[in-house]
Amino acid sequence: MLGLEIDEYILPTERRILRVRAHWFLLLRDIAESALAMVALILLQSYLPSSGVVNTLTWYGGVVVVARLTILVIDWWVERIVITDQRVMMSTGIITQRLAMMPLRKVTDLTFHQTVLGRMLGYGTMVVESAGQIQALNRIEYMPKPDEIYEALTEMIFGEKKQTRSHWLPKPKR
């Protein structure tokens, strides 16, 4: 495993509420660029006169395209967003890991934006504001199920302690 798992950063006094990765739609542009590059390489291979140089360059070009897409997919796969009952954390990076964190007690406002496409596919952008400061996690894009996560966060930060409708949070014991 590369780097530490983000759950290893959770303190014993914290309770993990949810752990997600960015929505798969984030990769669509990279997949489309890679497909177009491969088509361009195939067309070059087809229309240029056959020679060892052309074959070698197009082959290595294809390797570069596949390697780039592989790295981007792995980077998406290892990126995690974790929300505990005390903070929001995001872990990114394959080899060099970066951990961004914001305590929930500093959050003054939560907003989420969803485009029409985002509503159809189930992703959005979460904007977290805190006491007039720009934090490391002030904008989280391609958040899956942002309305449910927004509701869970709102109830944790601003709601009553024993009341919750969100399925992310544990239900109160009766």
pLDDT in tens, 103-139: 888 888 888 889 999 999 999 998 888 776 666 678 8
How many residues appear in the chain?
174
Residue 145 lies in a domain: yes
Q: Report residue 54 as tokens.
A: 């052309």
Residue 141 lies in a domain: yes
Q: What is the mean pLDDT of the chain?
A: 84
Q: How many C-beta atoms lie closer than 10 Å to residue 171's C-beta?
A: 10
Percent residues over pLDDT 90 in the chain: 34
Residue 37 lies in a domain: yes
pLDDT at 171 over 60: no
Would you say 112 and 147 are in contact if contact means Cβ atoms under 8 Å apart? yes
| pLDDT reported for residue 3 | 47
Note the helical H segments in 20-173. 28-47, 52-78, 116-121, 146-158
Residue 164 lies in a domain: no
Count of structural domains, the chain:
1
Give the range of the structural domain holding residue 93, as residue numbers without chain letter.
Answer: 1-7+16-159
pTM (global) more than 0.85: no
Residue 166 lies in a domain: no
Residue 172 lies in a domain: no
Report the CATH number that the domain containing residue 137 is assigned in CATH. Answer: 2.30.29
Residue 84 lies in a domain: yes
**Angle, helix 52-78 to helix 28-47, in steps of 10 degrees:** 170
Residue 121 lies in a domain: yes
pLDDT at 1 over 50: no
pLDDT at 146 over 50: yes
